[in-house]
Amino acid sequence: MEVVAAAQKWTGQVKMTQPKKETAGFPWPVTVTREIPRTSKASSWEVWEIKVKLRVHGKGNPGEVPPVSVDVTCDVELPSEVKTKMEAMVMATWTAKLGSRQAGEWFIAPVFSWVEANYVELLQCIPVFVNRFISVNAAGANEWRYTILEPTVVEAPEEEEELTEEQMMAELARRKREIERRLKDEEEREELARQRRAEAELSGPKPKQLSKKEQQELNERKRGQGNRTAKRAPRRNKSAAGDDE
C-alpha cells in the first residue's frame, strides 16, 4: 500500500487518518499527512516545516480524476493568499498525476517528494509576501534571511483636485495673510530687541564680574586687614626709670 511505503520512506513524518467504521461514508475520506522538514536548499528561510495533507474523498469514476483535496500549513502563519496559492500548486501536481493513474494508484509519495523538491518555490509563490532581512550566522557573518509576512500596505496618493478661480483667489489671500502675519511678528521681535538695547545703554555698563580666583583673593585681603593690629611702644622697665631720676 502506498501509505505504508511512504511511512517507511519518511519515518515519523507520515500519518494516515480516516473516519470510524460506524461513520457514514466509511472509509472515506482518507487523509495522508506528511510534515516535511526544511530542506538544505531552504536553509536561509525562517520556515522550518511544511505540512501537507492529501485527502481522498472516494474512488471516483473510471477514467476520471477521483475527488481529492489538499491542505497546506507551515510552522509560521501563512497569509490566506499564500496558503491558497500553495495548495493550488500541490493540487495541480497531484491531479496531473492522477489523470494517468492505474487502478489503485494515488501517487501519495510522488506528491510528497514534489513538495520537498519545491520547498522554496512554494514559499515564494507570491513574491510580495516574502520578507528579506539581514542576520548574523553561526560563523559571525552577515547573511540574508527570508520569511513570509503580510506586505506593508502603502496608501495610494490622493488625486490632486483642480481649483476653481474663486478657490485660487481664496488661497492667494490666505497666503498673503500668512506672510503679513510673519512680517508683523518679525517687526515685534526687532522692536523688543531695540528696547532692551536702549535700556541697557541707560543703565550703564554692568560691573565687572570677578572670576572665582579673583573673588577668593579679594576675600583673603579683607580677612588680612581685619586681623591687623596697631604696634605698641616698647615697655620701659623699672631700672631704666630709676636711672632717669
pLDDT score at 204: 62
146 burial level (CB within 10 Å; 0-12, 13-18, 19+): middle
C-alpha 218 chain-centroid distance: 63
C-alpha 222 chain-centroid distance: 68
- Domain borders along the chain are 2-127
- Provide the phi-psi class of 206: left if phi over 0, else alpha when psi is between -120 and 50, else beta: beta
pLDDT score at 232: 52
| DSSP-derived 3-state class of residue 242 | helix
Distance spanning both ends of the chain, measured CA to CA:
156
CATH of domain 2-127: 3.10.110.10
The Cα diameter of the chain in Å comes to 167
pLDDT score at 138: 84
Quick one: which of 64, 122, 120, 73 has its CA closest to 93? 122
pLDDT score at 201: 73
Per-residue pLDDT of the chain (245 residues), as tens digits, is: 789 999 999 999 999 999 998 888 898 999 999 999 999 999 999 999 999 999 999 988 777 888 999 999 999 999 999 999 999 999 999 999 998 877 778 999 999 999 999 999 999 999 999 999 999 888 889 999 999 998 766 565 666 677 788 888 887 788 788 888 878 887 887 888 788 778 777 766 656 666 777 778 878 877 766 555 545 555 555 554 455 54
**C-alpha cell recorded at residue 42:** 531552504
pLDDT score at 142: 92
Q: Give the DSSP H or E segment for 163.
A: none
145 burial level (CB within 10 Å; 0-12, 13-18, 19+): middle
